[in-house]
Amino acid sequence: NAGVTQTPKFQVLKTGQSMTLQCAQDMNHEYMSWYRQDPGMGLRLIHYSVGAGITDQGEVPNGYNVSRSTTEDFPLRLLSAAPSQTSVYFCATRAWENRAYGYTFGSGTRLTVV
Amino acid sequence: EDKVVQSPLSLVVHEGDTVTLNCSYEVTNFRSLLWYKQEKKAPTFLFMLTSSGIEKKSGRLSSILDKKELFSILNITATQTGDSAIYLCAGGQMNSGGYQKVTFGIGTKLQVIP
- By the 10 Å C-beta count (0-12 exposed, 13-18 middle, 19+ buried), B1 is classed as exposed
User: How confident is residue A100, by pLDDT bands cut at 50, 70 and 90?
Assistant: low
Residue B95's pLDDT is 67
Contact list in B for residue A90 (CB cut-off 8 A) is 42-43
The reported pLDDT for the residue numbered A99 is 62
Of the candidates B45, B88, B101, the beta carbon closest to that of A102 is on: B45
Four-residue CA torsion sign, A103, B86, B80, B55: negative
Whether A43 and B88 lie within 8 Å, measured CB to CB: yes
Of B44, B45, B104, the CB nearest to A43: B104
Distance from C-alpha of A19 to C-alpha of A35, rounded to nearest angstrom: 16
Query: If pLDDT is split at 50, 70 and 90, which confidence band does A37 have?
Result: very high
Is the pLDDT at B114 greater than 70? The verdict is yes
Q: What is the 3-state secondary structure (H, E, C) of B46-63?
A: EEEECCCCCCEEECCEEE
- Residue B91 touches chain A, beta carbons under 8 Å: no
Nearest-angstrom CA–CA distance, A44 and B85: 19
pLDDT, mean of residues A70-78: 97
For B74-111, the pLDDT digits (tens) are 999 999 999 999 999 999 887 666 666 788 999 999 99
